Structure 1
Amino acid sequence: MTRAERKLDHIKHALSTGQSRQTWLDDIRFVHQALPNSNWESVSLQTHLGELVFGSPFFINAMTGGGGAKTAELNSQLARISREMNIPMAVGSQMAALKNPEEISTYSTVRKENPKGVIFANLGSEATVDQAKRAVDMLEADAIQIHLNVIQELTMPEGDREFSGALSRIETLVNELNVPVIVKETGFGISRETAIKLQEINVAAIDVGGFGGTNFAAIENERRQRKLSYFNEWGIPTAAALIETTSVMSTTPVIASGGIQHALDIVKCLALGASAVGLAGVLLKKLVEDGEEATIQEIMRINEDLTMLMVSLGANSIEELQRSPLIISGELFHYLSLRGIDLHTYANRS
């Protein structure tokens, strides 16, 4: 199977396997504010990721590219949506284009469709400095995501089996590239131990990419004769990964992603300390099933719901939202308690 065929396979199986809703975000409940002292016009959805400014606190996270005309069209559509809604967009791994120049157009179309927008390049942790620079140049990218996908690679029939030296390679990229380096998990979560290591090498941001959304182990198992079923439930759910990571971050911004499905999920992630939230599977499904205009309308509804929720909490900004009290219960409470994280502070913020 060629790399391009594999990319198309990933899209097909991502749509068919869906999202598990095992993010543990349902274990979080806000404390109701009967006197919120806020109104619609006073709410700002603007957020910052380092020096990058987002008009809304969410963006289109990495999905595709490198699969010929089909992925080129998907990326073109996503880029037009990001331009129309003034939200950033990340492309899928560009290694396909570095290996086969015929695939470059499936990525570069993003910059053509959105010439002034915030665009993230994307490569795996095996990337060299030269490859990363070429990926950035391909898109005139504002930042680059370096994705971590050990479990996917292990489950992938033709995947990598060598992962040593990744942290050192990422540190070299941080030091050598002239754009921010964002490190992103691809659906299995970031632990606090990993987050500390990444902060120590001065990455620009960490995307926790938690368990509960598109499951790349399940996708790769669909492509295997002998299933590695033990990886299908592997990983740190998004809410747990987000709290683990933010609990040890002092200066490094954190991005939440992994099974985020609607505005309430986004607000919960922001309240837990995320600077921004990445959406992928839910937007891909909407785009494929209902089209470009319907996806734009869905994003508009998300923005309206975000504003509605922030008014209800008396939060006029993302910073104020991150002071909203919330209650953590269920499996999430049990997991985080065993990990030694004090959850009482979340319930008594003001």
Structure 2
Amino acid sequence: MSSKPNHEEPAPSQPAAMPSKQTLPRRHSRKDDHVRLANAQHEAEGCNSFDDVRFVHNSFPDMAVHDVDMHVDMLGSQWDVPFYVNAMTGGSASTGVLNGALAQAAESCGVAIASGSQHAALRDRALTPTFTTLREHTHGFLFANVGPSVTASQARQAVDMIAANALQIHVNAAQEIVMPEGDRDFSAWKATIREILETVDVPVVVKEVGFGMSQATIRAIAAMGVAAIDVSGRGGTDFITIENQRRNRSEYGYMAGWGESTVLSLLNAVEVHHERLADRDGSSHASSDSVLQPQIVASGGVRTPLDVAIALSLGAQAVGVSGHFLHTLIKSGESGLVEEIERWKQQLRSIMTLLGARTIPELRTRNLLVTGQTGREAELLGISLKDYANRSVQSVD
């Protein structure tokens, strides 16, 4: 979640006990507002773009569950599990409690975790413990998180603050526009990202915050030379709706649902990937930087292990999960979240077995039917969905 300056707030006695909107002045409670409103959205969660995608069934998997290898090579590290706890929170006493519980669950399950925006701690050192609790509770892969409104030096501070293995830079213009206290000038964002890339010594991921990415956006980010792109599409937490609920008049309600869905964003990423490979093969003067292929991460509206399998099959190297895991923690506590993550690991392995996919690369060769609104939007963008429905069963890189 994106963050602006705020002040430390009293911690609740239990992680699930979020303060109501009325307990603190709005300027003090924004981070807790985000958690409370995001959790309420999850409870009302319905269909999204993942429902427009189906695997083509094969009655003979020709393998056993124990044959599945779910590991992925992500940002220079080997992950045993291709999904992780994505960026959520931090910046208040109560959200610091949530961060500690999320990190402990990630450690118990052997999955990576990402911090929420660390802007608050960069501006107020008293809030640093709400983020350092992440590293205190996990030895695993950990993402730091800033937006492009910080300096390159501050980005490096965010990485050092939690001894992070990688850095997420969240781009959230749509959220900022509706946020009452949000930024209104985005003219320096690309330049700042380039400066951060030159300054930090860990892999950098540029991520959206639930509004997805067009092909033009993905091209622009890929050209910067980032290590990975998190397309973070529409379908999960809607930060326009959240920020609109925080406005006195809530006058931006008509903008709910802004942006591209996660599935459409993944399809866009594949198109850009193919374009860049063609440019590399067809241009003898292309520089190595111009054809660098960043890894693709999927997040936004991931509700089930089947959604994870679909995202991986559509080209994601890893899948970030925020809303569902946060809701599970608030509802069932840390032990409930650990049980849920373990269930997801087992169920993803079962789904891969059903598809006859021993590895994640094999999963990317399984036939997919993309229909509904997502299919219609993809066709308007010139994306050939027949290619996904008739893919080879040969392994690919």
Q: TM-score range by the shorter chain?
A: over 0.9
Alignment match, 1:119: 142
Q: Distance in 2 between matches of 1:3 and 1:280?
A: 24
Letter in 2 for 1:17: Q
Cα pair 1:21 1:259 within 8 Å, conserved: no
Cα pair 1:4 1:96 within 8 Å, conserved: no
What whole-Å deviation, never above 9, does each CA across 1:304-326 have from its counterpart, x for those lacking one?
11011000101000000001111
Q: 1:34 aligns with which of 45, 51, 59?
A: 59
Alignment match, 1:89: 113
Q: 1:72 aligns with which of 93, 96, 99?
A: 96
Alignment match, 2:81: 56
The CA deviation at 1:67 is 1.1
Is 1:7 aligned to residue 49 of structure 2?
Answer: no
Query: Relative to 1, partners in 2 of residues 1:128 and 1:22: Cα closer, same or farther, differing over 3 Å?
Result: farther
Which SS does the other structure have where 1:264 is aligned? helix
Letter in 2 for 1:208: V
Which SS does the other structure have where 2:182 is aligned? coil
Is 1:274 aligned to residue 274 of structure 2?
Answer: no
Cα pair 1:3 1:96 within 8 Å, conserved: no
- 1:222-233 correspondence to structure 2 within 5 Å: 222-226=245-249, 227-233=251-257
Is 1:239 aligned to residue 247 of structure 2?
Answer: no
Q: Distance in 1 between matches of 2:336 and 2:163?
A: 28
Alignment match, 2:20: none
The CA deviation at 1:230 is 2.5
Aligned pairs, number: 348
Which SS does the other structure have where 1:291 is aligned? helix
The CA deviation at 1:103 is 0.3
Q: 1:154 aligns with which of 173, 177, 182?
A: 177
Letter in 2 for 1:7: K
Q: Distance in 2 between matches of 1:169 and 1:129?
A: 7
Q: 1:318 aligns with which of 340, 360, 364?
A: 360
- 1:244-263 correspondence to structure 2 within 5 Å: 244-249=268-273, 250=277, 251-263=293-305
Alignment identity in percent?
40
Alignment match, 2:382: 340
CA RMSD of aligned residues (A): 1.2
Cα pair 2:156 2:199 within 8 Å, conserved: no
Alignment match, 2:282: none
Q: Distance in 1 between matches of 2:28 and 2:80?
A: 33
Cα pair 2:234 2:300 within 8 Å, conserved: yes
Cα pair 2:231 2:296 within 8 Å, conserved: yes
More displaced stretch, 169-178 vs 311-320: 169-178
Q: Which runs of 4+ in 1 moved over 2 A?
A: 1-4, 17-23
Cα pair 2:144 2:162 within 8 Å, conserved: yes
Q: Distance in 2 between matches of 1:97 and 1:231?
A: 30
Q: Distance in 2 between matches of 1:275 and 1:144?
A: 17
What whole-Å deviation, never above 9, does each CA across 1:215-248 have from its counterpart, x for those lacking one?
1111111111222112212111111111111221
Letter in 1 for 2:314: L
Cα pair 2:153 2:199 within 8 Å, conserved: no
Q: Distance in 2 between matches of 1:107 and 1:3?
A: 20
Q: 2:217 aligns with which of 194, 204, 208?
A: 194
The CA deviation at 1:278 is 0.3
Letter in 2 for 1:72: G
Letter in 1 for 2:193: I
Q: Distance in 2 between matches of 1:71 and 1:233?
A: 26
Letter in 1 for 2:212: G
Letter in 1 for 2:70: L
Query: Which TM-score applies when normalising by structure 2?
Result: 0.86
Which SS does the other structure have where 1:299 is aligned? helix
Cα pair 1:246 1:254 within 8 Å, conserved: no
The CA deviation at 1:258 is 0.3
More displaced stretch, 33-42 vs 104-113: 33-42
